[in-house]
Structure 1
Amino acid sequence: MKKNIFYLLSLALVLSATSCTVEIREDADINGGGTPSNGTTGAVLDGTGTLAGTLKQNTTVKKGTYALEGIVKVPEGITLTIEAGATFTAKTSVGSSLVVLQGGKIFAEGTAAEPVVFTSDNKKPGDWGGVTLYGNAPIKAINGASKALSEDGNNVYYGGDNPNDNSGSLRFVRVEYGGKKIGDGTSETNSMTFYSVGAGTILENLVSYKGTDDGYEFFGGTVSGKNLVSYGNYDDSFDWQDGWSGQNNSNWFAYQTAIGNFGMEIEASGNADNIAPKVTGITLIREAGTKPENAGSIEVTAIQFKKHGSGIFSNVYMEGYKNTDGKSAYAVLIQDAATETEQVDKGKVLVSPANHVNSDNLNIWGYAYTPNGGKTFTSDATIKKVTLTSGNWATVNGVDLLSALK
C-alpha cells in the first residue's frame, strides 16, 4: 500500500496540475505503472480523468469518459494515443480545444461500434474549439508564401517542406459542437482543422457535428480524407485554401440542416499555380428550410470556387440547394473571372459526372462576375448518393446521421 502511495505521489510530481502539463485527476486509474499500450514510457488514463495543458510525455487514453479542460496541446516529439470507446467532454467555460502541433502525433483509433468522441458539457453548437492538427507539409498562402499565421487564435506559423509528413491517424472519430468565433469574429476554429497536414496522416470515417464554422477546413497540405461526414455545421461543410492538394479523397457526405452556407467553399488564396485536389464520391444535401448564417445571404450554392480555387470531383450528387429568392443557388458558382480563365478553362475545375436534383437553377453553373458566363450541364441520373455504413460512429442522441443516404 505504501509503495503504491509513494508511486502515485511521484507520478503527481511529473504530471502536476499546471498550465504546461497533461493533468490526470484523482478519479483517473493509473494502469500498468504508466506504460502505454504502444510500449513507450508515458502516462495512461484508464477509465476516467482530465486532460489539460501541454503534454510532457507520451500519453495513452483507454476506453472511458474524460474531461477536456482548456487548450490541450500535443507538442513536437509527443504522441497522444486514444483507444476505441474513449469519450471526451470539453469544458465550455475555459475555452477548450485539442491542438496537435507540428512534430506532435495523435493516434485516435475508434471503431464503428466504439468511436472516439469529442463533445461538450453544454451540447450547443460552437461550445469549444474542436480538433486541430498542424503538420509540416507544403502550403501556398497569399502571394505564394510558404508559411502563414494560423487564424485559430493559437498564433502558430504553419507550412513545411515534407509532403508525406505524418501527424498520426484519426479513424472513427466524431467531433460534436465544435468550431467557434474568436474575438471580434474575424477568426474562428472549425470542428476539424488541418494546417499543412501531410499525406502520411490517415483521416478515415470522421464526423463533424453541429459546429458554428466549417465542418472540415484544410489550410494547405497534402493529406486526404476518406468517409468524411459533415452534419449541421453553420458555415461551409467542406472548405480549403492555401493550396491544399489531397489526391486520394473519397466518400464525402454533407447534410446541411437549420443553418448552413455553401456545401463546399474552395479557394487557393489567389495562387493560379496550384495542384487541384481530387475527390471521388461527393454527396451534398441541404434540408428544406435551411437558412444561411446571415439573413439574405446568397451563400447557398452547393460548390463555390473563388481566388483560383480548383478541384477535380467525380460522382457528385447535389440535392436541395434552394434560396428564398429562388434564383441565387446553383450547382456550382464561379466567383471571379480569374478562377474561370486560369482554373476552369485549363481543366483544373471539374464537377462531372454530377446529378443535380430538387434545387434552383437545375444543371446550371452560376457566375458572380460580369459578364455572367453561364454554363449548363446534363445531370447524370445514374449518380447516386455515396454509400456509408451506419453505426455508433455516425449516431448522435439516437439519430442516424446517415439516414439521408438511404
Structure 2
Amino acid sequence: MKKLLYAIAISATIFTGCSDDEEETPAKVPVEGEITGDITTNRTLTFGNYTLKGLVKVQPGVTLTIEAGSTFTADQADGEDGLVILNGGKLIANGTANDPIVFTAKTKIGGQWAGIIMYGDAPIVNSATAPAPQTAVSEDGQSITYGGSNATHNGGSLRYVRVEYAGLVFNNNTREHNGFSFYSVGSGTVLENLVAYKGNDDGFEFYGGTVSAKNLISYGNADDSFDWQDGWRGQENTNWFAYQTGIANYGMEIEAKGVNNTFFPKVTNITLKRAANTATESQNEKQFDAIQFKSQGNGDFSNIFIDGYASIEAGFGSAIQVRDLATYTNQIVGGKVKLLNVRLANTPVTFLSQNSGGAFTVNAASFGANFTTSTTATGAALITGRWANVDGVNLLANL
C-alpha cells in the first residue's frame, strides 16, 4: 500500500510540475491556396502560402483581410499579376515585425509583377486652370480615373508588408507598375513598415492624395526609390530609407505636374544611400541625384542623411538637383522647399542646375533659411526583424 501511495504521489508531481504557461504551442500550419479574379464580398485569407494569379481587384464596398505571416507568389508566366484595391475597397494587411505579409515572385528577378496598387478619391492637382476637384487617368494600363475631394479616404491598413521583384513595365508612362502605387489615396489609410525590394521601376509612388507613410524601406529598385506627382501632400511621413544598388536613378523624384501650388508634403528622418558602382537605367540619361525637384515639385524635409551620390562624370550626380527654371523660381526661391538638417557623405556636389527653361544657379543662398546643414543628422530609424530581411539579406545593414 505504501508503494502504491508513493507511485501516485510521484505521478501527481509529474503532471503538476508543468503549468499551462510552460506547455509548447504547436507551430501554426499555413494553408495553401490561390487568389485570383475580383473580390466581390468581404473575405479573410488565413495564414498561408498563396499563388497570386492575374490582377486581383478588391471591389468598392469590399474588404480583403490578410492574416500576418502570409506569403503570396506571382508568376509572370501566367500573365500580369497584381493586387489592386479599387476606390471604396479596403485592404487590411497587418503583419508584424517578425511575421510580415510578403508578396514575392516565383522568378526572383525585378519586373515580374504589378505590385500593390491602391486607388482613392482624395484631392490631386494636375492642371493650373481646371477647377477642383481634379482627376486623372492611371498610368498602369488600367485607365482608371482617380482624384476627387475626399481628403480622408480610407483604403485600409498596411503594416509590415513587403513587396519583392515587382515593377512590371510594358510601356513607360502608359503601362508601368511600381512596388507600391498609391493613386489619390487619403489620410484615413494606414501605411506603416513597408518594404519595396528589387523592383524594376519605382519602389513607392504617390499620385496625389493626402495619405502619409511611416517606416519605409526602398531597397535595390531600378528607377526611383520614392517618387510622387499630382500634388501629393501627406503630412505625417517619417523614417524613409532608400538603398540604391545595381541599377537606380533618383533617391526621391519630386514633381507636381507643373502646377505652382501652395501645399506640399512633409517628411522627417530620411536616409538616402547609393552603393558604389550603381549604374543608371539609361546611359543616355545619367542623372542619379539623391533628391530631384522638377515641374513645380516642393516639400518640407528634415533630418536628412545623404551618402554615396558621387559624380560619375561632370554634370551628373549630386545631393540636390533642380531641373527647370519655373521650379527654381516658384518653389526654391519662393520658399516652398525646406531642406533642414542635411548631412552629406561621399557626395562632393551639393547642388546641380539643369537649366531647363532658362539659366539659373541653385545654391544654398537660393533657399535662404530653408536650407541648413548638420554634422549630427541621423536620418531614418527603423526596427529590426524578419520584415526587413530577404533571403538572408539584412536590409538595414547599411542604414
Identify whether the pair has TM-score above 0.5, normalized to the shorter chain: yes
Amino acid at match of 1:382: T
Equivalence for 2:147: 159
Are residue 110 (structure 1) and residue 95 (structure 2) matched?
A: yes
Q: For 2:150 and 2:80, locate their aligned partners in 1 and report how far apart those are by CA, in whole Å.
A: 32
Aligned twin of 2:243: 255
Aligned to 1:237: 225
Unmatched tracts of structure 1, length 5 or more: 1-45
Contact 1:65–1:86 (Cα < 8 Å) also in 2: yes
Amino acid at match of 2:120: G
1:360 Cα deviation after fit: 3.0
Cα displacement (A) at 1:274: 4.0
Alignment deviations for residues 1-41 of structure 1 (CA, whole Å, 9 cap, x no partner): xxxxxxxxxxxxxxxxxxxxxxxxxxxxxxxxxxxxxxxxx
Residue 125 (structure 1) aligns with:
110
> Which residue type is aligned with residue 80 of structure 1?
L
Alignment counterpart, residue 34 of structure 2, candidates 50, 57, 62: 50
Shift of 1:183: 4.1
- The structure 2 residue matched to 1:63, chosen from 44, 47, 58, is 47
**What's the CA shift string for 1:222-262, capped at 9, x where partnerless?**
00000011000000000000010000000000000000001
Given that 1:261 and 1:293 are in contact with CA atoms closer than 8 Å, whether structure 2 keeps it comes out as yes
1:288 and 1:360 mapped to 2: Cα distance?
14
Q: Deviations over 1:207-235 (max 9, x none)?
A: 00011110000000000000011000000
- In structure 2, distance between residues paired with 1:310 and 1:242: 12
Cα pair 1:125 1:210 within 8 Å, conserved: yes
1:213 and 2:201 are equivalent in the alignment? yes
Return closer, same or farther for 1:189/1:391 CA change in 2, 3 Å cut-off: same
Find the counterpart in structure 2 of residue 17 from structure 1: none
> How many Å apart are 1:324 and its aligned residue?
1.8
Does 1:365 find its partner at 2:351? yes
TM-score by length of 2: 0.87
- Rounded Cα–Cα distance in structure 2 between residues aligned with 1:372 and 1:342: 13
Work out whether 1:270 is the aligned partner of 2:258. yes
Deviation at 1:62, TM superposition (A): 1.4
Distance 1:163 1:400, change over 3 A: same
Q: Which amino acid aligns with 2:352?
A: G
1:335-354 mapped onto 2 (5 Å cutoff):
335-354=323-342
1:32 maps to what in 2? none
Q: Give the aligned partner of residue 270 of structure 2.
A: 282
Q: 1:256-283: per-residue Cα shift (whole Å, max 9, x none)? A: 0000001000000011024110001100
In the TM superposition, what is the alpha-carbon distance from 1:186 to its structure 2 partner? 4.7
Q: 2: CA distance between counterparts of 1:118 and 1:329? A: 33
Residue identity opposite 1:393 in structure 2: W
Deviation at 1:297, TM superposition (A): 2.2
Cα distance, 1:131 vs structure 2: 0.4
Deviations 1:112-144 (A, max 9, x none): 000000001111100000000001111112445
Question: Does residue 298 in structure 1 map to residue 286 in structure 2?
Answer: yes
Q: Which amino acid aligns with 1:74?
A: V
Please state how far the C-alpha of 1:390 moved relative to its aligned partner.
1.4
Gaps of 5+ in 2: 1-29, 365-370
Q: How many residues align?
A: 359
With over 3 angstroms needed to count, the CA separation of the structure-2 counterparts of 1:320 and 1:326, relative to structure 1, is farther
Counterpart of 1:404 in 2: which secondary structure? coil
CA RMSD of aligned residues (A): 1.6
| CA positional deviation for 1:374 | 3.2
Task: Check conservation: 2:269, 2:378, Cα contact below 8 A.
Answer: no
**What's the offset of the Cα at 1:371?**
2.4
AA aligned to 1:68 is: L
Provide the residue aligned with 1:192 in structure 2.
180
Larger Rg over CA atoms: 2
Partner of 2:330, secondary structure, is helix
